[in-house]
């Protein structure tokens, strides 16, 4: 499992990505470099570090998106394939659907951290900054493993062939403690936002990752005794990011994912055509304007229903003004920035999804399976998309809205819905066009439901919801992911209007059993390391 290659990976790779002063991803071809020479040349040190950045997950080009399509957000434009296998519970330690045993990236980070501390002759300022970036990257890599598997082996130094490579798993608490410590050490070393190239780790990014890790650690899956001190720690970490005053909500909710490196972005994976691109725009198009691929995220009716009305009430609430015969009128701004519905303007034309439209409608190949298409993050002016190419929006891994929602959740769980909780939620809702403040008589349970719904609509398509359902330990409920079939909207022309009929779109009942809260350690890793123990039930 942990066998380490004994060379400086960043030097010997022939192609390394690096961030130029103009923030554009470029490539430089290098011949083999002496492994000691790297530490005397600031450019080579930077290239080594950038090679670690290059492995950060962002938009998924190669495979159909999974995590959005296996919860209550979207369904892929087909009724077979990996997402439906996962929903049906048909996965094993050998399936590979979620594999992220990222010890190659850990090894690179460990080599870099050792080298920058013990061998580098570059300036002290660069040493400090690069060490902070490497610690951040190691921390986020471990976080992405822990949220899948629970406790994993913590390895902090390059391993040698003479070392005992059969490393045992650390506990979940030990892993979260390590991630938090890494973030704290990185934050001290890293520059403020604006003092380094966009797309690189900053003090705010390290603090935000710490807040995310503490929120997970405090959540119901891990915090089985509901220890309030863990919620307090998560609330304080989020408040610390807010107190930096380095970030704010971007006013235009439609363009959060389109306007690069805007004021809301805390950490992002950068793209720039033609050097590095993805297929986000192509994956949102129906047959009439598709190019080599069909829609990969068709919003479910449950997500559509979750968006509030512009008056702040949910659609089922008395006085909301919701009309089931005119269901898309009067919703908050996020709805129109996120959902393409029948009759809306999309890509410079009117988009229909009704069952009579053979190039766009429900029931036709390479068209919607739910009665809706994705708008969020789509560049509707882009004409050069095809399959997994043609788009270069940056992938926003952490943004300020998440921090506000994390603060609200942690503070509510720690001590209840005080004015600070109302304040951050009202700030988010105001950006969405809801100018009616929340009342002050909301009880803790009701506030919990409200916060969770706000996360649902605010962060949809950002690969957050599936992990939220897991950390809240509600995924195995029959009304969530165990025994439920989700729905879409069948729309039929009726005179001068439309008939709306909710329909089931999942071919089978979903399956999520308690053992699935911790994903299986990949089977091949168990073969390599006899000291690894499989998660229960796998």
pLDDT digits (tens, 9 = 90+) for 74-111: 999 766 678 989 999 999 999 988 899 999 999 999 99
So what's the pLDDT on residue 18?
Answer: 37
Residue 15 is inside which H or E element, if any? Answer: strand 15-19
pLDDT digits (tens, 9 = 90+) for 17-29: 333 333 433 444 4
Mean pLDDT for 253-280 is 96
Range from 14-18, 246-250, 403-407, 464-468 carrying the lowest mean pLDDT:
14-18
Grouping H, G, I as helix, E, B as strand and the rest as coil, residue 298 is strand
Mean pLDDT for 32-51 is 87
pLDDT digits (tens, 9 = 90+) for 168-210: 999 999 999 999 999 999 999 999 876 556 789 999 999 999 9
Provide DSSP, 444-511.
Answer: HHHHHHHHHHHHHHHSTTSS-HHHHHHHTT-TTSTTTTSS---EEEEEEEETTEEEEEEEE--SS---
**pLDDT band, very low/low/confident/very high, at 536 (cuts 50, 70, 90):** very high
So what's the pLDDT on residue 21?
Answer: 36
Encoded tokens for 221: 């899956």
So what's the pLDDT on residue 60?
Answer: 63
What letter does residue 169 receive in the DSSP assignment? P
Angle CA(24)–CA(30)–CA(31) in degrees, nearest 5? 175
Who's near 518: CB < 8 A, 6+ residues apart?
A: 148, 149, 150, 535, 536
Which ranges constitute the DSSP H helices of 119-168?
124-149
Encoded tokens for 497: 């209007």
**pLDDT band, very low/low/confident/very high, at 10 (cuts 50, 70, 90):** very low
CB 89 within 8 A of CB 511: yes
Who's near 80: CB < 8 A, 6+ residues apart?
A: none
In angstroms, the CA 292 to CA 273 distance is: 19
pLDDT digits (tens, 9 = 90+) for 153-173: 999 999 888 888 889 999 999
- Whether the per-residue pLDDT at 61 is higher than 80: the answer is no
Mean pLDDT for 509-536 is 96
Question: Among positive and negative, which fits the CA dihedral 442, 445, 449, 455?
Answer: positive
Question: Among positive and negative, which fits the CA dihedral 37, 39, 42, 44?
Answer: positive
Share of the chain above pLDDT 90, in %: 85
So what's the pLDDT on residue 358?
Answer: 93
So what's the pLDDT on residue 80?
Answer: 66
So what's the pLDDT on residue 134?
Answer: 98
Provide DSSP, 405-418.
Answer: HHHHHHHHHHH-S-
So what's the pLDDT on residue 81?
Answer: 77
In angstroms, the CA 339 to CA 333 distance is: 10
Mean pLDDT for 305-309 is 98
In angstroms, the CA 47 to CA 49 distance is: 5
pLDDT digits (tens, 9 = 90+) for 108-135: 999 999 999 999 999 999 999 999 999 9
CB 355 within 8 A of CB 363: yes
For the whole prediction, is pTM greater than 0.85? yes
Query: What mean pLDDT is reported for the chain?
Result: 92
Angstrom distances, CA of residue 85 to CA of 79, 92, 507: 10, 11, 11
Mean pLDDT for 273-298 is 93
Chain CA centroid to CA 275, Å: 23
In angstroms, the CA 408 to CA 421 distance is: 5
Range from 14-28, 67-81, 208-222, 416-430 carrying the lowest mean pLDDT:
14-28
């Amino acid at each position: 499992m942990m066998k380490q290659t004994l060379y400086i990976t960043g030097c010997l790779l022939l192609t390394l990505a690096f961030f130029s002063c103009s923030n554009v991803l470029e490539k430089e071809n290098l011949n083999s470099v002496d492994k000691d020479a790297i530490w005397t040349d600031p450019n080579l040190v930077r290239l080594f570090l950038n090679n670690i950045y290059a492995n950060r997950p962002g938009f998924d080009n190669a495979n159909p998106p999974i995590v959005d399509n296996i919860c209550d957000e979207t369904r892929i434009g087909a009724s077979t394939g990996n997402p439906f296998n996962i929903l049906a519970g048909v996965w094993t330690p050998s399936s590979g659907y979620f594999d992220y045993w990222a010890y190659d990236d850990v090894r690179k980070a460990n080599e870099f951290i050792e080298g920058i501390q013990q061998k580098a002759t570059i300036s002290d300022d660069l040493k400090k900054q690069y060490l902070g970036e490497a610690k951040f990257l190691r921390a986020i890599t471990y976080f992405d493993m822990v949220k899948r598997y629970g406790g994993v082996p913590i390895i902090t130094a390059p391993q040698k062939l003479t070392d005992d490579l059969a490393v045992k798993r650390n506990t979940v608490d030990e892993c979260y403690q390590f991630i938090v410590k890494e973030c704290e050490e990185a934050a001290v070393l890293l520059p403020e936002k604006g003092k380094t190239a966009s797309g690189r780790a900053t003090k705010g990014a390290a603090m935000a990752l710490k807040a995310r890790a503490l929120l997970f650690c405090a959540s119901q899956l891990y915090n089985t005794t509901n220890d309030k001190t863990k919620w307090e720690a998560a609330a304080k970490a989020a408040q610390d990011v807010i107190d930096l005053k380095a970030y704010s909500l971007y006013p235009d909710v439609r363009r959060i994912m389109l306007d690069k490196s805007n004021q809301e972005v805390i950490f992002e994976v950068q793209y720039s055509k033609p050097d590095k691109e993805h297929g986000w725009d192509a994956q949102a198009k129906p047959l009439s304007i598709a190019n080599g691929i069909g829609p990969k995220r068709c919003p479910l009716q449950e997500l559509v229903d979750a968006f509030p009305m512009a008056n702040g009430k949910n659609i089922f609430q008395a006085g909301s003004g919701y009309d089931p015969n005119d269901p898309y009128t009067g919703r908050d701004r996020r709805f129109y920035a996120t959902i393409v519905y029948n009759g809306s303007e999309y890509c410079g034309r009117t988009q229909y999804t009704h069952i009579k439209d053979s190039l766009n409608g429900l029931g036709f190949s390479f068209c919607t399976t739910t009665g809706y298409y994705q708008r969020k993050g789509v560049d509707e002016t882009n004409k050069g998309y095809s399959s997994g190419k043609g788009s270069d929006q940056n992938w926003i891994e952490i943004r300020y809205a998440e921090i506000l929602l994390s603060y609200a959740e942690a503070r509510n769980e720690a001590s209840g819905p005080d004015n600070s909780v109302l304040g951050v939620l009202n700030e988010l809702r105001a950006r969405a066009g809801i100018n009616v403040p929340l009342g002050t008589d909301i009880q803790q349970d009701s506030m919990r439901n409200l916060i969770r719904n706000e996360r649902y609509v605010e962060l949809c398509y950002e690969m957050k919801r599936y992990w939220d359902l897991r950390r809240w330990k509600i995924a195995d409920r029959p009304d969530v992911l165990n025994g439920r079939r989700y729905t879409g909207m069948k729309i039929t022309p009726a005179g001068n209007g439309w008939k709306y009929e909710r329909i089931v779109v999942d071919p089978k009942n979903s399956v999520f059993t308690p053992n699935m809260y911790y994903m299986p350690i990949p089977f091949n890793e168990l073969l390599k390391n006899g000291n690894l123990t499989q998660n229960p039930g796998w």
